[in-house]
Amino acid sequence: MKILFLTHRIPFPQNGGYQIVVCNTIRGLVHLGHEVSLVALNGKRSYHENAPDADLAEKINYRAYDIDINVSVLEVAINLFSKTSFNIDRYYDSEFETLLIGEVRKNNYDVIQFEGLMVSLYLSAVRKNSAAKLVYRAHNIENQVWTRMSLQKNDPFKRSYLKMHARRIRNYEIQQLNKFDAITVFTPQDKQVIESYGISAPVRVLPVGLNLEKYKPDCTQTEFPSLFFLGSLDWLPNREGMEWFLDNFLKELTNGDLNVKLYVAGNDIPESFDDYEVMGKIFIQGEVDNALEYVNSKAIMIAPLLSGGGMRVKIVEGMAMEKCIISTSLGAEGISYENGKNIIIANNREEFYQAIKRCIKNEDYCREIGLNARALIEQQHDNDKVVDKLVSFYTGLLN
């Protein structure tokens, strides 16, 4: 098959969930002998001059297009009187659309996969100029993310503002989803939500796939006890979840009976997080050079997500690295976990407190949780198996 991927960001390097999912899918398809192209928008807000790994670069057709996704205060104010959300509109570029039309006219693609709602802005142009089957992959149910964030706000204005964007994004999301030939999601929960919108296109659940050969845990290099968080903090659900955690546990971690160090790492950590740093107790580290080495070096992963959606790739990776993970049920959504066996679920302050207290005192318990987590990932998240299912889904659309 000849397949084109459209992304709203450059998926290199693989330091975030979106990038990991996109690249793993492409690698799997190339391994199976399919001809893959990738066209990526490159937002100058977070500019990266990154090419694929050498082994992948020579096997795919890759092109990135620079786009300015910055929005001025005036544009945000004007958008208040619009029916659409600037969070989506800022990814539209007429020159890129022209380039994309030329790309799909020139190449007789069998499948064109849209990676997320932002690139769906180009759906109509692609539809008019290509006979390919158009597939949408929902990394999140975008309007659900905004709705859940609004529920975390006590400020009436902020809550109302987020709800407004959630409504606008929901209307756009439903409108666009109805135009695709097929949809893939990561979780059964997301499939249920999409089908509740009355979408007629087939929806297939395909979980996050990992190349398990990359995940080689070594517990002899792990600091026990230690708590850690790893994730991009420019994604609001991550940032708000960690703010909640730090606000609730700062005293216990620094002067209380939770005698354990906390490490916070990831991309785009706001300067305001520096205020949480406490010498010898809480470490705000920013981006790390090697994410898997970092994960291996720490014992207990926390995922205090209070909003968001989809499947959290960092949790799947943590499980593959045999980590004991304490997560909200929302953070672990879509993973076929068993609470207390391969992950620990904590949905409020008291549950997090009790889970942390138990884990930092019992290394054997943490190791058992981690080993069971790895077994689950091997069973359900092997990338080769996931991509095989995706190809079968594509084949059914083409026949």
- DSSP symbols for 170-190: HHHHHHHHTTSSEEEESSHHH
Q: Averaged over 87-94, what is the pLDDT?
A: 92
pLDDT at position 74 is 77
Contacts of residue 357, Cβ cutoff 8 Å, sequence gap at least 6:
257, 258
For residue 187, give Cα distances in angstroms to 28, 140, 184, 207. Answer: 20, 10, 9, 7
Higher pLDDT pick, 326 / 54: 326
Contacts of residue 131, Cβ cutoff 8 Å, sequence gap at least 6:
108
**Could you report the per-residue pLDDT of 342-386, keeping only the tens digit for each?**
999 999 999 999 999 999 999 999 999 999 999 999 999 999 999
Q: Averaged over 97-108, what is the pLDDT?
A: 97
Q: What is the pTM of this model?
A: 0.90
pLDDT at position 45 is 53
Place of tokens 């594509």: 394
pLDDT tier for residue 73 given thresholds of 50, 70 and 90? confident
Least confident of 82-96, 201-215, 234-248, 326-340: 82-96
- Residue 334's CB: how many other CB atoms inside 10 A? 21
pLDDT at position 158 is 86
pLDDT at position 48 is 54
Contacts of residue 372, Cβ cutoff 8 Å, sequence gap at least 6:
338, 341, 342
pLDDT at position 62 is 94
**Is residue 70 over pLDDT 70?**
yes
**Is residue 396 over pLDDT 60?**
yes
Q: Where are the beta strands (DSSP E) in 21-166?
A: 35-43, 61-67, 111-115, 133-138
Retrieve residue 18's tokens.
């979106």
Instruction: Please provide residue 82's backbone torsions phi and psi, each rounded to the nearest 5 degrees.
Output: -100, 170
Domains and CATH numbers, the chain: 2-209+383-398 (3.40.50.2000), 212-380 (3.40.50.2000)
pLDDT at position 50 is 62
pLDDT at position 112 is 98
- Secondary structure (3-state) at 192: helix
pLDDT at position 49 is 56
**Could you report the per-residue pLDDT of 279-336, keeping only the tens digit for each?**
999 999 988 989 999 999 999 999 999 987 778 999 999 999 999 999 999 999 999 9
